[in-house]
Amino acid sequence: MKKIIIIKEKTNRRFDKFLKEEVFFNENITRGEIIRQIKKGNILVNSKKNKPSYILKENDKIEINFDKKSEKLIPNKDVKIDVIYQDENIVAINKPVGISVHPVKLDEDNTLVNGLICQFPEIKKVGDDPEIRPGIVHRLDKDTSGIMVVARNQKTFEELKKKFKNREVEKKYLAIVHGKPENKTGVIEKPLARSSDYKKQIVANKKTKTIIRPATTKYRVTQEFSDYSLVEVSPKTGRMHQIRVHMKSIGHPIAGDQKYSLKGAKEDNFAKRQMLHAKSIKFSLFGKNYDFSAEFPKDFQDALNFLTKSG
């Protein structure tokens, strides 16, 4: 166990940032991994678990008790990767429903990343947080299907990260939503923030106390059914659960979405998960243009067939 006592000159700093900048500055450990260790209780303040955002005070005692080398991602060859395209820089995959992109804890072994490191071991050192998210530039929710791009080297990761930040990546999703939007095309510009309990995202307002971030989503109705619509959605920003929250905010939540449903809405018997599919992604990289698309999974197509027959 390593112990550190905070002196006056080191006070008024975030717990996690202090560890990254003062304790682990000369080691290959990311701030993301530091935050995970704090949450697991392997790094304590005054013998207690505390938030990564805790502001350090004089005479605080930090206790560090974990062996970074003993914790590594577990490769799992049984996680099948549907590779659409690959070259020396990227891998484009069609993510299936029901699988998380990366583990929350390193002892998990059934995520997309656990399969990726078997097939593409070079990504193990790629990214801002390669210990748990190697090569991952963007993510999809566990129950969202569709196209994803993974970086195979650090240069590509940095370039893609910059393009996502500068909104130079065009993404399109398809969603089955409740009802029929009055405006068949539209732009939703509503800032998002974490809820007070941090369990989901909300549209921010004047009383919001968590960090508020701008968010923009374009949509276009492509097909209508009796009580539902098929909508093409293009997020211009990449906030967590952005499409799901924005569609709910205009009164048309995604079918099957338990987290972001409207009160009193009828049950979607045809949908066992949120009906959201990442249809395509388009970008340029190192002078080459890429344009990938992913086919619907069976449950999404079955849902469309059901709605078509139902009128």
Which pLDDT score is estimated for 266? 76
Which pLDDT score is estimated for 300? 97
Which pLDDT score is estimated for 60? 96
Beta bridge partners of 77: none
Which pLDDT score is estimated for 194? 87
What is the C-alpha to C-alpha distance for residues 48 and 32, in angstroms, rounded to an integer?
20
Which DSSP symbol is given to 122? G
In the predicted model, residues of the chain with pLDDT beneath 70 are 25-28, 67-71, 311
Beta bridge partners of 146: 95, 278
Which pLDDT score is estimated for 27? 65
What φ, ψ does residue 4 adopt, rounded to 5°?
A: -135, 135
Q: For residue 141, indicate whether it is catalytic.
A: yes
What is the C-alpha to C-alpha distance for residues 94 and 79, in angstroms, rounded to an integer?
13
Measure Cα distances from 48 to 23, 39, 51, 258, 273 in Å.
Answer: 19, 11, 10, 35, 38
Beta bridge partners of 224: 229
Contact 96, 126 (CB under 8 A): no
Sequence-ordered list of residues with C-beta below 8 angstroms from that of 91, at least 6 positions apart, any chain: 83, 85, 116, 120, 135, 149, 150, 152
2-69 and 72-166 share one fold? no
Q: Can you read off the two tokens belonging to residue 172?
A: 């399109």
Which pLDDT score is estimated for 69? 53
The pTM is what?
Answer: 0.79
Q: Which residues of 241-255 are buried (b: 16+ CB within 10 A; e: fewer)?
A: bbbbbbbbbbebbbb
Domain 72-166: homologous superfamily in CATH: Pseudouridine synthase (3.30.2350.10)
Active-site option among 16, 141, 257, 299: 141
Other CB atoms within a 10 A radius of the CB of residue 101 amount to 19
Domain 170-283, what architecture?
Answer: 2-Layer Sandwich (3.30)
Give me the CATH code for the 2-69 domain, please: 3.10.290.10
Domain chopping of the chain, boundaries: 2-69, 72-166, 170-283
| Arithmetic mean of pLDDT over the chain | 92
